[in-house]
Structure 1
Amino acid sequence: AAAVQLQQESRMVLTKATEMAKRANDELEQQTLELKAQQEQIERNRTAENERHVRLEEERQRLKELQQKQLEQQQQQQQQQQERLLAMAKSQAHEDEFANWLVRDFMNDNHYPACIVRTSPDAVSMPINVNYLIVTETENLLDSQEELISTPLNIKFDFITNRQQFILVAIPYIVKRSSHRENVIKVRQSNGVWMSMETNEPTFDSHK
Structure 2
Amino acid sequence: MKLRRALSAAAAVAALGSASLLAVPTAHATGNAPSATAEPSPSPTYTRPAFCSGIPDEERGKTGLRGLPGTIVAGSGWHEFTYRVTNVSTVTVMETVISLYPGTADPDLDDIAELGMTVEWFNPEAGTWKPIEGEGAEPLDNDDFATLGMVKPGEHTDAAMRIKIAKTAKAGTGYFFTHGYSYGEDDQCGFDEISQFDFTVVSAR
TM-score (norm 2): 0.25
Tell me which of the two structures has the higher relative contact order, counting C-alpha pairs closer than 8 angstroms and 6 or more residues apart: 2
Larger radius of gyration between Structure 1 and Structure 2: 1
